[in-house]
Structure 1
């Protein structure tokens, strides 16, 4: 008996998405597959330190990576943290995986196992020192949690009594604090991150695609921080490069509206990636 044919791939809702998928399948060796981590390869959890890649994520990536020009995990986390929480190091098939951490400011290459990190922005330490007072002044200390990220600092409101109210109350004061110290505020799903300017997932993705010399691109994300990457792929498509945009879920309305294909969380993403590999 021959092997069973692969499961069918979902059909993108847009013509641009269908063209992007066709280009990736026709010449996979010239495609970059770029994927967010939290909410995409790993479930969103109340304590970010407990986040881990879905059990099927690494096998799916390892099945896909040998067929394409490159697989890159693009994340707001420090690159080394994403590697540990993802279990990406030393995996057969992922010898050339790249993790672009801190929105591309950091980079880990599986081929060397090393992280390249810029010098820390002085504003991060200054803002971190003031954060407890800002949270207390706005009545948001209880239930919020400060995450140290090295090149950035983040405030999570997921554990607050009213997480969305705490998020909304802190957005303006934390934006002011970030601006005072030469930083930018990056809002996410019940998290507000203060980080240095000049780098986002779109900048990182565009630079990496140029470096690889890719002819097509797939991007999968789920949060506000992924919108610059979405915009970068849209720009590449307007310049003639085929691309497929996938939303890992529909929580962020703008991302879902701009995506060609909608999935339903990390389990759905890993199934899609494994099915994509089977069609190559």
Structure 2
């Protein structure tokens, strides 16, 4: 567990002191689940369910805040079973899918979702041609309902292919009034109306939280990191955990704690429980 500054240690201590009134929000891929070449093969780190269950008995609420569709995250993380276990202990689990556009809770057991953004269907029709012209026709296209993601991780030269597709996908997205979100050898295209920072603020407000812990690992988490830091400036104790990646060093500069992947995230959550 590596604090990025003396002030970061103070933020940890401030959250620890109000842990029973705090909320915890965590990204899925790279934070709770190790990053894998096949996005459909992602699963929670073995230590995550136990520490989340124990944490839920102490904090006000726990949420998974992910770019994945909520239904997909629930299935891959077995989050419905985890949510039921939390309910048995008087706690609740939330899932904010597709950057907060979708919502699920272990109490209601249904996903609330808006309509797909205007322009997405047209974007998807033009996408194969754009990829062919960028010499990336073999990129994996993941349709998410409210978004589409283009993965290069399984290609022979994932980094080179990623670099070739960013500019043309940006142009195509702008033409259809959509937002582009580059990540770890993946480019996601979605509506810009919602992001994880808004999801964090909504979660804090609805739970009337006395503190916030957020953990993430990719560029899609930057708004959430910034939201925690802004809430801290407003007087709310907050802790930002970066599940470190050499691919996304910018996140390290915004974090209070830098840890070694999902195993490190699990360790930090366990430390908060032990230190309270």
- TM superposition score normalised by structure 2: 0.93
Equivalent of residue 176 in structure 1, options 161, 171, 177:
171
- Aligned match of 1:218: 213
Cα distance, 1:216 vs structure 2 = 1.2
* Cα deviations by residue, 1:143-179 (Å, 9 ceiling, x for unpaired): x110011110010011122111111111111011111
- Aligned match of 2:43: 52
2:19 corresponds to 1:28: yes
- Aligned match of 2:240: 245
Equivalent of residue 116 in structure 2, options 110, 115, 120:
120
Equivalent of residue 78 in structure 1, options 69, 77, 81:
69
Equivalent of residue 13 in structure 1, options 4, 9, 15:
4
- TM superposition score normalised by structure 1: 0.92
| Contact 1:79 1:99 (8 Å CA) reproduced | yes
Q: Matched residues in 1 for 2:134 and 2:54: separation?
A: 48
2:269 corresponds to 1:269: no
Partner SS, residue 214 of structure 1: coil
| CA 1:31–1:253: 2 relative to 1, 3 Å | same
Q: Matched residues in 2 for 1:55 and 1:242: separation?
A: 29
- Greater CA deviation, 264-273 or 221-230? 264-273
2:256 corresponds to 1:260: yes
Q: Matched residues in 1 for 2:238 and 2:5: separation?
A: 11
* Cα deviations by residue, 1:38-80 (Å, 9 ceiling, x for unpaired): 0010011111011111111111100111100111111000111
Point out where structure 1 has 5 or more consecutive residues left out of the alignment.
1-9
Q: Matched residues in 2 for 1:238 and 1:148: separation?
A: 38
* Cα deviations by residue, 1:16-47 (Å, 9 ceiling, x for unpaired): 42232222222212111111000010011111
Equivalent of residue 97 in structure 1, options 76, 93, 96:
93
Count matched residues. 270
Point out where structure 2 has 5 or more consecutive residues left out of the alignment.
none
